[in-house]
Structures are given as C-alpha cells and as structure tokens.
Amino acid sequence: MIHQAAAFIARHFVRLQPSPTAAAHDAPLVRLSCFHGDAKWTEFVRGRWAADPCAYVDAVGRLPVDEMPDLFGCLYRGGHCVGLLAPASNVILNGLTLLCRRRSGACSSPEESCLPLPPDPRHVGNWGSIAFRSYNGLLAFMHTYFRYLTDDQARFYLHLSGGDVLVAIRIAELEQFAAVEGAVDQAVVGRHPDLLRERAQFALAVAGIKAKHPMPDDLLLLFQPALQESADDMKAVLATLAEGRRLAVRDVEAILAVLKSQLRHRTVCPGLQLTFTQRGRGETLHYRLNGQHGGGLHFQQCAPFSLAGLRSPEAVRRKLESCLSLVPEHTPHTPAEVADAPPTCGHVEYLKMGLLDVIHALYVEALARLPRAALRRLLRGVLVAGHCYGPMDPVSNIIIHAAWYSVIAPPSRPTSEPDVLGVDALLRLEVRSLAGLVAAVRAATGFSEHQAVEHLSTNRCDISSMLRRAAPETRGPAFRRASEAARHPLGEHHSSFLASLASSGPKFLDTVSSLLRSGEDKAPRHLISDASITELQKMLGRRCSPITPLPAPSRLDSSLPARRQWLEKRQRFLRTELEQLLRGYADQRPWEPTFELETICGVAKESAYLSSHCYHINFLAAAECLGISRLSPNESQLRIWATFQ
C-alpha cells in the first residue's frame, strides 16, 4: 500500500516578524521550554494544565441535556476534548457524533456501556475520568505530531493553549522555527496545510486510541479532508459551536443531521470491492463492482476542505497572542544565562532534532530538483561531500558540493549508476552537516552552542546572509571549523573551495544561482535542466583541479565483487517492485496523477513472523497524467513511502 507523505516534515510554520533594527544576537527570544535543567521550573510545568474538566461543564451548559437525556451518556462516554477545534466544541462534536452512531444502530464498546453515569452532569468533579482520558489523548497527539517533544514540553504547550491542539501546534512550531518576538502574522496563522494531511490524521488516530474513545475511527473521520460541497453544512455547524450560546433541541437535531450525512459519505463498506479496468483519456472510466461489470463512471476533481481549516484565523490569532502573553512569567532566563547554558539543555536537544528533520527535507529537495541523468552522476558526490553549509542557500550548497566533488575526485573506474541511497549514509551526512552548520555559526558570530542552534532554527539552516555580513578574515576560519566539525573527507580542499566561492563576488554567485534556476520553471523548487548541471561542472572545473587520488590498498577484499553484484541485483528488484506498485496504485486511483519512479531515498528491511521480509521504502516519483504534470508549479517531484513484502 502506497501513501503520499508530506513533502516536508516541518514545511509550514507560524512566523513572527523580527525587529529590523535588532541584531541576531541581541534579539529577545521566546524560549518557552528552555529551563536549563532548573528543577523549580520543571516542577512548575508538571503542575500546570492537566486533566481539566472545565470544558465538559461548559459543554453541558450549552447543550439541552434535560430535554435530551441521551446526550449526557454520549458526552460522558465519547465526548472527548480531542480534536482540532476549541476544547468545548470538541466535547460537543464528539458527543453528538456518538449519539448519531447510536441512533443509526452502532454501539459503543460493552465496557463503556457498563460504566454508571454520575448523578449531576453540571458538577465539575464528575468529569474527571473522561477528562483524564482526553488528556492522555492530547499528550499522545503532541508526541505523535512532534516526534521529539519531551513530556514536560508537551504539557507546557497544552497548558499555554488551554488544551486547544491547534494553538498548541502553533506554539510548538513558533519555538522551533520562529523564536524572535514580534507581532503574529495573521495570514500565516490562518493557513496550516499540514492539518489537512496524513501527519495530523495519524496523530488524531493515535490520540483516539490512547484516549480510549469508544469509536476512535469517528474521531478521525470528522477531521479528514472531505468534498468541498460538504463545506457549507459544516461551516454552519462550526459557526453554531463558535457562538458559544446555549443550543436548543432544534440546533442539536440540525447538527446531528449534518453529522449523519458526513459519516455516511465517508464510511467505506468493508464488503465493497471496486476495481477500475480502464484509465481512459476522458473523464469516464469503466469499473467492476464485486467482480461484475458496473459500467462507466464519470468523475471530477474537487478541492477538499477540512474542519480545522474552517476555524476563524482572527480568532486563532487572538488566542495565540493571549497564550504568548503568559510566556514572560515562565521564561526568566537572561541572554547572558542563555549564552552560558549547557548544550545538554532539553530545549536545545529538541531544536537539534528538529534541525535534523529540516536538513533531511533539504536533501530530499536537492535530490528532487536534479534530473535523472544528473542525479546518477552526482549521487556519489552528494553522499560523500554534499554538505548543506556554504555561501548559498542549503539546497544550492548541496548541489554545488556534489558537482565540485565530481570534478575534483572523479571515480577511478566506471561503475554502475546508483539510484538507491543508504539510510545510514544519508543520516551520517545529515548529522555531520548539522555539526558543520553549528561550528560555522559559532566561528562567525562568537555565539554559544545554545545561541547557534537557535539561530539555525530561526533561519532554517540558511547561513548565507550571516556569511555575507561577516568580514572576509572571519569567513575563512568559519569554513575551516565547519569542515573539521563535519569531518569532511577533503577538509582542507573543501574549506579552501568554500572560501574562494564566497570571495568570488556577487557576479559569479549570481551566475551559479541562475544555472540552478534554469529549467522549464523559474520557481525555487523546479527541476534543474541537465544542461545546467553540465555547465556548472565545467565552471567549477575551470576553478578547481582534480586532486591526486589516494593509492589503492595493496590487498582488496575478495568479497567486494560479489557484494557489488548483490547490491545491483537488489537495486533491480526494488525498482521492479515499486514500479509494479505504482502501476497498481494508478489503476485503482484514476482521479490521481500517475507516478514514475525516480530515486529510492531509503530502504529498511524488517523481518516479520515466520521469516517473511517486509520492506519500508522512501522514494521520489514524478507525477504525470496523460503526459501533463499535475504537480504544483513549485514542486518537481513528490516524496512517497511504501511498504511491501
């Protein structure tokens, strides 16, 4: 089964506007979870917002529980405050969804049905059980959505947001990617495409199970993207909930009618087998229904919507600003204390793990921008010397380093063209690139490691502006420190190359930048032409001479030829299997573009029960439909992951 994953793990984030007059090292930073191991602040966080039942009392006060007695039981057993709306709205929506299911004949689990109801739904102490389960679900959501959060960080973000997951997500991203204080950009706050994708959906699925929701699939169904034609009905539901007024019976019945329609349209019958038998050039396809010919099917593409996307950007912005107003009382550390902070601070470790994700996305983007022929020539250079620090943006630095290495250290003999990246080799390259970035920032600015990591997080690993502002006598040592920290295989040659590149003047760098933008599209993430890569190699060849290769070892491992043959055989096997999977995927999803396999970015082999092997593969694929690319203008290829036996 193939799933399209988000192109970047940390692609969209809440940006705060930095002060134009403040220097990078003088700007006040929002360090929401930067406690430097201070025990009193850790205890403070652990004593904050936990299983708060107030949202349930608020929800009960807004619902006609006296006129509709079944509401109380549904709220008590399935009204979890887990979701992408405000906590009380989540309680109401989840409780009404369970009531809708019960009316249609679906039942909750026997264990939940046996739980006795408390006598007074308006007493806050009667909601402790489901509030605690919801809190566990919210923590599970945060840990799943942000893989590197500590328990204290997740608790603190939920405390600041008052249990509003959407706001908690933005606070966490603010700390990771945009730490400079300023006014929140309302336009960016209102858009968060990641919440329409698999990342948030998977986190919701985990949260529903962790919260012991009686029907966890419904929790996910409510927030999955749906057809635009359903948006008006759900907008009306959301507007009703956002008013905060007490709902009458007719209001509840209207919401139940909308939920019934939504759940019916999104629920798949497990006994239904629909098979497409033709991908025609028109919009009519032939299909088989349970093995029998079903006729022709006319379809059209519609823009999806998500319930989370219907929330008011202005309301979210106000709530975010209100939450951030609590930050100063929780972050007492001065810039001097931060400069002396130990590198083992949990805040710094969290930022480093996030930076590794960003760097991984940069390497995937660099691979996606290279045409197939050029990628085969440069893949060796990417893995050996393709570090992402340098005088240009990170993706351009990766490509330039790979082209430079292919010029000064060409392979001694022809080899088969690789198109499978090793997971360990790529991870090693990413870790070393991060070490080089930190060393370069510290050498050029005098920052502590703590400050350097924050600088990289704010600038998403792009140090080109910092290097342009640095004095020429500072850039050389910065590049040397970076090459040493990154353990570059050609350290002295590499630092000299970077120094000469940085001192070449804007004309040469503009020419290189123009080459890396030449192609069918001038967008930042377009596919570079093969001719441009060839011209780049020629330009670098005129500036750099090939180095003398190291002498070959006197005794070669006799197993190398056999290992090389095995790797080539495995490479052919993986490509064949993935191409077959992509064809099957296209046949069963004719409304999506067809995918052509480009590069395998990582392979993990897992042994399962009875010695059957399972492969987990990340790869890049170009999307086409009837010869016309359906990718957005800013995307050249898509990153996809697949699992097969």
pLDDT in tens, 548-576: 765 555 565 677 778 878 888 888 888 88
- Where among 516, 543, 570 does a domain terminate? 543
Shared-domain flag, residues 300 and 359: no
For residue 592, what are its two tokens? 């999506």
DSSP state of 42: H
Q: Tell me the residue range of the domain where 428 lies.
A: 339-543
Domain total in the chain: 4
Shared-domain flag, residues 248 and 298: no
Shared-domain flag, residues 257 and 358: no
Radius of gyration of the chain (CA): 28
Q: Is the pLDDT of residue 28 over 60?
A: no
Shared-domain flag, residues 435 and 374: yes
Instruction: Summarize pLDDT for 317-357 with one digit per residue, the tens.
Output: 888 888 877 765 545 455 555 566 566 677 788 889 989 99
Shared-domain flag, residues 228 and 364: no
171, 214, 574, 599: which is closest to 374 by C-alpha?
599
Q: Is residue 19 part of a domain?
A: no
Instruction: Summarize pLDDT for 370-403 with one digit per residue, the tens.
Output: 888 888 889 889 988 999 999 999 999 999 999 9
Q: For residue 253, which phi and psi values (nearest 5 degrees)?
A: -65, -35
pLDDT tier at 42 (50, 70, 90 boundaries)?
low
Q: What is the rounded average pLDDT of the residues 133-161?
A: 89
For residue 288, what are its two tokens? 């088989």
Shared-domain flag, residues 519 and 625: no
> What is the reported pLDDT for 439?
96
Shared-domain flag, residues 172 and 211: yes
461's torsion region: left (phi>0), alpha (psi -120 to 50) or beta?
Answer: left
Shared-domain flag, residues 281 and 248: no
DSSP state of 409: S
DSSP state of 127: G
Shared-domain flag, residues 586 and 512: no
Shared-domain flag, residues 157 and 210: yes
pLDDT tier at 547 (50, 70, 90 boundaries)?
confident
Q: Is residue 357 part of a domain?
A: yes
Instruction: Summarize pLDDT for 489-503 with one digit per residue, the tens.
Output: 888 889 999 988 888
Residue 24 CB partners (closer than 8 Å, separation 6+): 445, 455, 458, 466
> What is the reported pLDDT for 11?
26
Q: Is the pLDDT of residue 363 over 70?
A: yes
Q: Is residue 112 part of a domain?
A: yes
Evaluate the CA torsion angle 162, 167, 168, 172 in order and state its sign: negative
Shared-domain flag, residues 258 and 287: no
279 touches 166 (CB < 8 A):
no
Q: What is the rounded average pLDDT of the residues 110-122?
A: 60
388 touches 398 (CB < 8 A):
yes
Rounded Cα distance between 294 and 290, Å, is 9
Shared-domain flag, residues 355 and 437: yes
Across the chain, mean pLDDT equals 75
Q: Is residue 300 part of a domain?
A: yes
> Among 217-221, 232-236, 415-419, 530-534, which stretch is predicted with the lowest mean pLDDT?
415-419
Q: Is residue 12 part of a domain?
A: no
Rounded Cα distance between 599 and 627, Å, is 20
Residues 547, 392, 406, CA angle at the centre, nearest 5°?
A: 25
458 touches 177 (CB < 8 A):
yes
